[in-house]
Structure 1
């Protein structure tokens, strides 16, 4: 090593010391986006720290927009009605934004969603966005599984420009998410979710592993490099029922474009013990991979529609999640009565059979809701 090389090395170390001393960060503490905003870096670091604490954040989809038998009532949430506190993670859906619609596929106005996101962030909560985008090849829904859709929208393919225009609309919305000081609001972005299932156009039945990886990587690159978006943490998300590390990682696009490893899981009519066993197994697999890759583990969606078991929260959920190393779990939305007259909700409302047990779940030391999340100062 020459004298000049030694001098540059010394100066580099001297310049790096103050940063490391102030932030306490190492490269492993930082998200995959090298240009991530300060708030985004801090959120990622704190989610990682939380993952090893035995505690986890509780989330709810569309929590501030509506619940069972109500919509757009200021300051309301079914979680708050029952516990007196808001959830710590707020889930929102971007589907139909890509086609220029004023409302998403669940009827939530994007202008209102933006305000709800600002409210959740201001209260110290975490924001996560999923995206059931329409099929770019044929304009049908996200559930249209025409073979070859992903192949047709990759760079150089016939419908690539259509997909780019969809991303442009998503990017415009993401860039509009700002806090009171003009800072960008960090978002856990979860595109192409439940990728191992066969019910979406990006799913395993109609897409090869390489096609999926290419789509994911292109999307991240486009948002970062072309649109200049640096306030996202990227979530890789499979379905539940995982069989092995290899199955989970078969379509994994790379450590350089992923921050959070997650899966979705729901209890249906199968026995409680079967769901608990599956949940424990899936979470153990994902958290071990997250630790190995220096990522954050999460349960991105979970629930039991209409929660018919009075003690489901402390009898099934709490024991299955206790002591695990993950950052958050998000329960799905309280849609109430849907257009097909089906009742759908995934957290209890006042008077629901599992209401009292949900309060017991709320009081557990490991479950963190809004008040506790605010105290954690996740963005600092």
Structure 2
């Protein structure tokens, strides 16, 4: 073969070899897609958009030495700084942006930028605990108290510092611990700091109080009666108060509620009132069936940890009326005077009426009641009020004392309450030997007016070592529609605005009358009331300062505190 032919043959062989090599490269995969990306130690999703992979983590998250988990195209490889990475094994620092390259089988390259962003640091949330009242025995001047900040949280980091202060001075460090507090009010601040320097603080108020030596004016009062008074004192001197209503179960719009399975309060909030107002008027002057209904209602309240308070709208002797405007017989207009002075058999009649009430307390009930005798005496509407013939403040005081002495000698189950109508007129006060509980009846107050009056009542009660209550209240001007937020914006606000100067054991709203069918006559909402009134009363119920029946049941008010 000549040289030329050898040359031609070599060229042909080279062309064939080159063609074969190109065919082999064309068969290699060109796919270089990053399908999924995760960082094993971080529970966050990453989004892949074009050539950017991004995810966000909480401030303070450690991004060094993190394990990558990824999914790429088949037969492709992922490189960082020229080094092939192994999913689930390889680690890297993601404090700054990281450039990765996905290389296809055929060598085609596609770059991606990994960005791990940090969200703004959320400040921690300090929780110093609930306000509380701690009682010490008489003569004890201080108390070891546990402070517990374990309820504090930091959603995106960790709390590294707890500092407890009172009046700017540090009293404790650490999440929890004991401090020694003297008698009095203590406003304590818990300041917490997270690992990135963000701070937050909260406060709690702790009252260290000496147990008041509340003693029933009846020195022979039963143990349960004594315990009730002491426990009412604890409520009054604490941050809470009990809610009550007159005839909460047996009265409803349109009719009596004979089943005693529920109450308007329970149908709206899920719980009954803690205080049950019961009026012997509806037991002495109504049918035997109705008398038994109200006895059963009082029994239910007591058996379930409630407080029972009597008020007595006693009928007059001759006209059988309560209100002076309805009385025509002059003998009834002078009835209080004649009872006090034992004229014309009036005192015997009076005692016979009281005997019936005493019999119900001793025999039908058999447990302690708070008897709010002859209330609103400073108004002119009742026959024992200011329009009575020969009226004087001393006459009323003598009348009240006569009733207390008579009942006290015949029952050891009675605590005695005295409650004028607003204004709070202490000139009618019968004296410390005749009163256990001091109240005021106040309808249609504004929040500020209520604050002012309850401060007066609380101060007077404290000075005389008595317990204060808001003995009757309500809004009678179509409360449901005109003042649907009455219970929060007036009652609750009025009490809270008084802060430590208001110390009351309970608030009692008036009844939802069975002889009317109009929502405008309600004192608390029922299940058919507009949502605005119902929601407001639920808010009142849910507030941390109000006590309803389930809560007083847990307090065991008739047991030794």
Equivalent pair of 1:276/1:316 in contact (CA under 8 Å):
yes
**Aligned-pair CA distance for 1:64:** 1.2
User: Residue deviations 1:166-223, cap 9 Å, x none?
Assistant: 1111111121243xxxxx3110101211111000010123221121111111111111
Give TM-score scaled by structure 1 length: 0.82
1:81 maps to 2:279: no
1:371 maps to 2:553: no
**Aligned-pair CA distance for 1:66:** 2.6
Deviates more, 1:342-351 or 1:355-364: 342-351
**1:54-203 residue pairs with structure 2 within 5 A?**
54-69=239-254, 71-95=257-281, 97-98=283-284, 101-102=286-287, 109-136=290-317, 138-144=318-324, 146-158=332-344, 159-178=346-365, 184-203=366-385
For residues 74 and 32 of structure 1, the distance between their equivalents in structure 2, rounded to whole angstroms, comes to 34
Match of 1:279 in 2: 450
**1:1-380 residue pairs with structure 2 within 5 A?**
28-69=213-254, 71-95=257-281, 97-98=283-284, 101-102=286-287, 109-136=290-317, 138-144=318-324, 146-158=332-344, 159-178=346-365, 184-206=366-388, 207-225=391-409, 228-242=410-424, 248-267=425-444, 275-305=446-476, 306-307=478-479, 308=481, 309-322=483-496, 323=499, 324-338=502-516, 344-353=521-530, 354-380=533-559
Distance 1:313 1:135, change over 3 A: same
SS in 1 for 2:213: helix
Q: How many residues align?
A: 332
SS in 2 for 1:297: strand
User: Residue deviations 1:286-325, cap 9 Å, x none?
Assistant: 1000000000000111111342223222222211012321
Query: Once superposed, what is the RMSD of the aligned Cα atoms?
Result: 2.2
Equivalent pair of 2:519/2:529 in contact (CA under 8 Å):
no
Deviates more, 1:213-222 or 1:358-367: 213-222
**Aligned-pair CA distance for 1:337:** 4.8
Equivalent pair of 2:275/2:306 in contact (CA under 8 Å):
yes
Match of 1:12 in 2: none
For residues 40 and 132 of structure 1, the distance between their equivalents in structure 2, rounded to whole angstroms, comes to 24
Distance 1:134 1:210, change over 3 A: same
Structure showing greater relative contact order (alpha-carbon pairs closer than 8 Å, 6 or more residues apart): 1
Distance 1:27 1:79, change over 3 A: closer
For residues 484 and 544 of structure 2, the distance between their equivalents in structure 1, rounded to whole angstroms, comes to 21
User: Residue deviations 1:124-169, cap 9 Å, x none?
Assistant: 0000111111113x23311136542211112532122111211111
Match of 1:271 in 2: none
SS in 2 for 1:318: helix
User: Residue deviations 1:62-113, cap 9 Å, x none?
Assistant: 11103234522331100000000110000111116556x436xxxx811111
Instruction: Structure 1 unaligned segments of length 5 or more: list them.
Output: 1-19, 179-183, 243-247, 268-273
SS in 1 for 2:405: helix
SS in 2 for 1:40: helix
For residues 542 and 283 of structure 2, the distance between their equivalents in structure 1, rounded to whole angstroms, comes to 37
For residues 62 and 370 of structure 1, the distance between their equivalents in structure 2, rounded to whole angstroms, comes to 14
Q: Which protein has the larger Cα radius of gyration, Structure 1 or Structure 2?
A: 2
For residues 253 and 97 of structure 1, the distance between their equivalents in structure 2, rounded to whole angstroms, comes to 27
More helix by share: 1
Give TM-score scaled by structure 2 length: 0.56
Equivalent pair of 1:68/1:78 in contact (CA under 8 Å):
no
Match of 1:245 in 2: none
For residues 254 and 310 of structure 1, the distance between their equivalents in structure 2, rounded to whole angstroms, comes to 39
**Aligned-pair CA distance for 1:343:** 5.1
User: Residue deviations 1:337-380, cap 9 Å, x none?
Assistant: 539x7952100012423101110111100000011111111111
